């Protein structure tokens, strides 16, 4: 039996369905039930910070996939973000690990993030690149990774870490939805001069990566980057979204320096009212953040089950259905 924390979330919902469809009994754990519970899945209401509530959910489990986390948000409201991130991402991981060991779980997978390594690069990262996280989310996910390795060695737990890039697909939120909306509206997009490379991961490919490491002894004790295996520039991504939506994409050549100036103005305005185009958001559109996921393919034989075009097509179908 597999237990999935964060089962009602974007990635968790897809993963639970994938596990159940493969014939694995699934117990989904979350603070709120998912909209749809697939056949073969049982839902257990629990907060990962509550060991007593978590304990019965892990009873009899063979595998645990820990997805529950406090994630990066554009408008942070906590007085001390690092403290709140540590509580959810480090303490929450510690509790899940301890209860997994208590229950005799054999396999453990932690969903981490590329932000545990940093925010931008020139060449694609491999797993050997020294981590230099810059924000509370990345810092605390790196701390959670270290905790998983420590507990795994101490208790002979077969653990793996998956570092995820931006994940997209049905149920996505944040920047990808904004990009779909901009393309759908047909507005001119000032990204014609952007020359970056960014790795993405379709949610179905993330689920496939989890399945691969769960069933591969070669993945025990290892950390992996996950991606679709095909990096895109921002203009390429926008054109691909346009193709998926059946919309023409109008790209205007605007110098990146003007973007960064607009981002600084956005930072000032964002202090008094929410604004999507801050320096942080601009950097995500202009900078490169690519990863080399060949280690995952090499050690587990994993191949992404969905192409970028297929993933964006499914995301477009979902986007149209919610409009």
| Close Cβ partners of 148 (under 8 Å, ≥ 6 residues apart) | 93, 97, 108, 110, 159, 161
Tens digits of residue pLDDT in 3-23: 999 999 999 999 999 999 999
Judge contact between 33 and 69, C-beta under 8 A.
Answer: no
pLDDT band at 319; cut points 50, 70, 90: very high
Q: d(Cα 4, Cα 16) in Å, to the nearest integer?
A: 7
Return the closest-CA partner of residue 253 out of 196, 186, 182, 190. Answer: 190
pLDDT tens string 80-96: 889 999 999 999 999 99
Does 285 score more than 90 pLDDT?
no
More confidently predicted of 97 and 322: 97
Contact between 219 and 160 under an 8 Å Cβ cutoff? The reply is: yes
**Tens-digit pLDDT profile for residues 183-237:** 999 999 888 998 999 999 999 999 999 999 999 999 999 999 999 999 999 999 9
Cβ neighbors of 80 (< 8 A, separation 6 or more) are: none
What is the mean pLDDT of the segment spanning 272-295? 77
Q: Is the pLDDT of residue 148 over 80?
A: yes
Q: Model confidence over 110-146: pLDDT tens digits?
A: 999 999 999 999 999 999 999 999 999 999 999 999 9
- Over residues 249-278, the pLDDT tens digits come to 999 998 877 777 766 766 666 565 555 566
Q: What radius of gyration do the chain's Cα atoms show?
A: 20
Quote the pLDDT of residue 72: 65
Point out the catalytic residue in the list 137, 302, 306, 319: 137
Mean pLDDT of the chain: 90
Q: 214 is written with which tokens?
A: 């769960």
Q: Which two tokens stand for residue 306?
A: 């969905």
Question: Is the model's pLDDT at 35 over the cut of 90?
Answer: no
pLDDT of amino acid 176? 92
- What CATH number matches the domain at 2-169+199-229+290-297, 3.30.390.50, 1.25.40.390, 3.40.50.300, 3.40.50.720? 3.40.50.720
What was the pLDDT predicted at 78? 64
Measured in degrees and rounded to the nearest 5, phi and psi for residue 59 equal: -60, 125
Domain limits of the chain? 2-169+199-229+290-297
For residue 74, is pLDDT > 80?
no
**Whether residue 137 lies in the annotated active site:** yes
Q: Are strands 41-45 and 26-30 parallel, antiparallel or unpaired?
A: parallel
- Nearest in space to 265 (alpha carbons), one of 256, 275, 255: 275
Q: In 91-120, which positions are buried (b, 16+ CB within 10 angstroms) versus exposed (e)?
A: ebbbbbbebbbebebebbbbbbbbbbbbbe
What SS3 class is residue 202? Answer: strand
What pLDDT score does 102 carry? 94
What's the pLDDT at 223? 98
């Amino acid at each position: 039996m597999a237990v999935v924390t964060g089962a009602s979330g974007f990635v968790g919902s897809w993963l639970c369905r994938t596990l159940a469809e493969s014939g694995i009994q699934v117990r989904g754990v979350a603070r709120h039930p998912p909209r749809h519970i697939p056949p073969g899945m049982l839902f257990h209401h629990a907060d990962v910070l509550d060991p007593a509530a978590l304990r019965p959910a892990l009873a009899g489990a063979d595998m645990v996939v820990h997805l529950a986390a406090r994630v990066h948000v554009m408008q942070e409201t906590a007085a001390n973000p690092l403290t709140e991130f540590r509580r959810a991402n480090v303490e929450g991981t510690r509790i899940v690990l301890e209860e997994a060991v208590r229950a005799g779980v054999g396999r453990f997978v932690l969903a981490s993030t590329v932000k545990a390594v940093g925010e931008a690069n020139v060449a694609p990262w491999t797993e050997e690149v020294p981590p230099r996280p810059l924000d509370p989310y990345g810092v605390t996910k790196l701390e959670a990774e270290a905790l998983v390795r420590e507990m795994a060695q101490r208790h002979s737990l077969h653990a793996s870490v998956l570092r995820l890039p931006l994940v997209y697909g049905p149920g996505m939120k944040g920047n990808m939805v904004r990009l779909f909306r901009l393309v759908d509206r047909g507005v001119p997009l000032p990204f014609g001069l952007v020359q970056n490379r960014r790795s993405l991961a379709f949610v179905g490919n993330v689920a496939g990566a989890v399945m691969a490491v769960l069933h591969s002894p070669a993945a025990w004790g290892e950390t992996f980057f996950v991606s679709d295996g095909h990096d895109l520039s921002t203009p390429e991504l926008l054109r691909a979204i346009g193709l998926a939506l059946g919309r023409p994409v109008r790209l205007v050549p605007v110098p990146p320096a003007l973007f960064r100036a607009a981002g600084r103005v956005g930072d000032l305005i964002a202090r008094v009212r929410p604004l999507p185009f801050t320096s942080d958001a601009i950097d995500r559109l202009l900078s490169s953040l690519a990863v080399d996921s060949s280690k995952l393919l090499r050690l587990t034989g994993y191949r992404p089950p969905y192409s970028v075009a297929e993933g964006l097509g499914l995301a477009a179908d979902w986007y149209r259905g919610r409009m």
